[in-house]
């Protein structure tokens, strides 16, 4: 099967990395921002004053209008900070991305208008206007991927990062929608494939997910969308680029999805947080590095509990596959001995490990911080963190290419939960896409269960480079 073949083909090994250019071609780096040559609607937003636990629990719905849409985007997919170091600058978004490259784009269909979210301007670009309303009593959010932004740096392994980033974007969207009291219903993204822009060489864009956001009953007229002419003239993203065929081959292979994930009914409980829900979302950062300090067992168990597949954000998007468990290198956790542990979210692995807590098992005691550093491509994040995670999947369950897509999206969604939960507990997380796959798959697991995403949590070094901005100001900082 193509997805599993390509996953195997893009593994890193200590003596050989997955195929990539081998250097950063700065002259031909693609733009982070897609801009259409189209009229724009400026967006505004409001603040939401809700406590931390309201990220997950039901909230009173807001009226659906452009300001509500602006608020949704402010708390899910917009720029909210600038990093500066000497003459270099990076724009940082609410949702994370591998290498801060952001392959994803966002389209909004509201009433009769088909629009693209211009992140730089915090506006909606009008690509088409239908004669009648396409959607009533709700609006559509459509997410796409532009693989070029990731392949420029990561070559063939970029196919993984695009899907992980989709998972992060979905989770970010789900939490933001929930704060607005809006239901989020997955719909057939293939219906919106006419938005895909494949005219520029190597700049192909793939519609990945589509969601209806609504308060209750809504009406969707897909035929009205299909019959509306679109203006898809956009500014070029890059001067020149290398084409990594396997990445595009995978994106072209995804079948129409027909899968209903199962949920657990376990009650959710909360430890208190001094931060509000919106503060947690807006404060989320990837840790620059860690101070080797201890965190508390109760905090770790609370974080892990939030990753369970309940029918609440972000899993209420039905964009996961119930195919991720977690291997952990416990470096510094008060109340747990150092060692390698297994957290059984979905009971993927038959084992005889020692049970420590509900769903938590000890594989082997010992200080494995150096091993964690080595496995994570010799990065200190693995050694200095309090906990280093590997999200692992059962590859025997993956029998279709879209199962692979849902599996990696699930991993990205779990990563996003851990990001927010770490912020709520005054620590920090960092996703790691570079790891030596088979040192986890074969040395710790049975080879059928394979790592798809690594993550770390701990007490962060303070990043002095951050300048917070609101999304409407961001354009003033971008050259």
Q: How sure is the predictor about 199, in pLDDT bands with cuts at 50, 70 and 90? A: low
Q: How far apart are CA 370 and CA 383, in angstroms?
A: 6
Domain boundary residue among 261, 278, 296?
261
The rounded distance, in Å, linking the Cα atoms of 186 and 208 is: 11
The pLDDT of residue 154: 95
Joined together, the tokens standing for residue 285 give 């950062």
CB of 203 within 8 A of CB of 103?
Answer: no
Is residue 198 over pLDDT 80?
no
CATH code, domain with 154: 3.40.109.10
Same domain, yes or no: 176 and 48 = yes
* Mean pLDDT computed over every residue of the chain: 94
Q: Name the domain count of the chain.
A: 2
Q: If you average pLDDT over residues 442-463, what whole number do you get? A: 91
| Same domain, yes or no: 240 and 295 | no
Confidence class of residue 312 from pLDDT cuts 50, 70 and 90? very high
The residue from 228, 261, 294 where one domain ends is 261
In the predicted model, what is the mean pLDDT of residues 352-370? 96
The answer to whether residue 414 is domain-embedded is: yes
pLDDT given for residue 89 in this prediction = 83
CA distance 56 to 174: 10
Burial of 149 per CB tally in 10 Å (0-12, 13-18, 19+): buried
pLDDT band at 476 (very low <50, low <70, confident <90, very high): confident
Look at residue 150 and tell me if it is in a domain.
yes
Residue 273, pLDDT score: 97
Share of the chain above pLDDT 90, in %: 86
- Domain limits for position 252: 19-261
| One domain, residues 214 and 347 | no
Confidence band of 83 (pLDDT split at 50, 70, 90) = confident
Q: Is residue 276 part of a domain?
A: no
> Does a structural domain hold residue 472?
no
Per-residue pLDDT of 263-292, as tens digits, reads: 999 999 999 999 999 999 999 999 999 999
266 domain-assigned: no
In a domain, 473, yes or no: no
Q: Hey, which residues does 391 pair with through a beta bridge?
A: 326, 453
**Looking at residues 97-110, what average pLDDT do you find?**
96
Do 240 and 327 lie in a common domain? Answer: no
Query: Do 59 and 113 fall into the same domain?
Result: yes
**Is 242 found in the same domain as 291?**
no
For residue 465, the model assigns a pLDDT of: 79
Same domain, 239 and 179: yes
- pLDDT above 80 (res 87): no
- Asked if residue 474 is part of any domain, the answer here is no
- Give domain status of residue 182, yes or no: yes
Kindly state whether residues 81 and 147 are assigned to the same domain. Answer: yes
User: Do residues 194 and 65 both lie within one domain?
Assistant: yes
| Shared domain check, 409 and 360 | yes
324-340 pLDDT tens trace: 999 999 999 999 999 99
Is residue 253 domain-shared with residue 302, that is, in the same domain? no
Q: What number is the average pLDDT over the span 161-166?
A: 98
* 153 and 108 fall within a common domain: yes
Weakest mean pLDDT among 112-126, 158-172, 229-243, 301-315 = 229-243
């Amino acid at each position: 099967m193509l997805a599993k073949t390509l996953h195997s083909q893009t593994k890193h090994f200590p003596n050989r990395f997955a195929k990539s250019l081998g250097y950063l071609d700065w002259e031909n780096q693609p733009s982070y921002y897609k801009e259409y040559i189209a009229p724009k609607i400026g967006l505004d937003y409001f603040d939401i004053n809700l406590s931390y636990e309201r990220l997950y629990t039901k909230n009173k719905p807001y009226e659906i209008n452009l300001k509500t849409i602006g608020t949704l985007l402010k708390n899910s997919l917009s720029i909210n900070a600038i990093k500066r170091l000497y003459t270099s600058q990076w724009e940082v978004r609410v949702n994370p991305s591998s290498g801060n490259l952001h392959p994803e784009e966002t389209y909004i269909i509201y009433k009769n208008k088909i629009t693209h979210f211009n992140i730089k301007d915090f506006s909606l670009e009008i690509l088409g206007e239908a004669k009648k309303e396409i959607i009533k009593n709700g609006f559509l959010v459509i997410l796409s991927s532009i693989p070029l932004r990731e392949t420029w740096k990561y070559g063939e392994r970029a196919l993984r990062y695009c899907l992980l980033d989709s998972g992060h974007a979905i989770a970010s969207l789900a939490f933001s929608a929930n704060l607005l009291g809006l239901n989020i219903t997955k719909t057939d993204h293939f219906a919106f494939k006419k938005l895909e822009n494949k005219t520029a060489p190597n700049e192909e864009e793939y519609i990945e997910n589509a969601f209806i956001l609504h308060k209750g009953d809504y009406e969707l007229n897909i035929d009205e969308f299909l019959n509306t002419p679109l203006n898809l003239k956009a500014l070029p993203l890059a001067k020149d680029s290398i084409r990594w065929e396997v990445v595009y081959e995978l994106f072209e292979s995804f079948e129409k999805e027909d899968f209903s994930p199962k949920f657990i009914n376990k009650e959710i409980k909360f430890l208190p947080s001094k931060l509000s829900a919106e503060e947690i979302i807006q404060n989320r950062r990837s840790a620059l590095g860690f101070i080797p300090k201890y965190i508390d067992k109760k905090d770790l168990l609370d974080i892990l509990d939030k990753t369970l597949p309940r029918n609440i954000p972000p899993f209420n998007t039905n964009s996961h596959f119930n195919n991720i468990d977690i291997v952990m290198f416990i470096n510094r956790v008060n109340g747990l001995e150092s060692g390698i542990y297994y957290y059984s979210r979905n009971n993927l692995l038959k084992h005889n490990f020692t049970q420590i807590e509900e769903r938590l098992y000890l594989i082997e005691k010992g200080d494995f911080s150096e091993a964690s550093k080595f496995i994570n491509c010799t990065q200190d994040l693995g050694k200095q963190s309090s906990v280093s995670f590997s999200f692992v999947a059962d590859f025997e369950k993956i029998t279709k290419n879209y199962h692979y897509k849902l599996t990696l999206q699930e991993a990205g969604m779990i990563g996003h939960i851990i990001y927010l939960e770490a912020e709520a507990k005054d620590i920090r997380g960092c996703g790691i896409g570079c790891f030596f796959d088979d040192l986890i798959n074969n040395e710790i697991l049975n080879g059928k269960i394979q790592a798809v995403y690594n993550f770390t949590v701990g007490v962060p070094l303070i990043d002095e480079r951050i300048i917070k901005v609101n999304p409407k100001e961001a354009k003033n900082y971008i050259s």
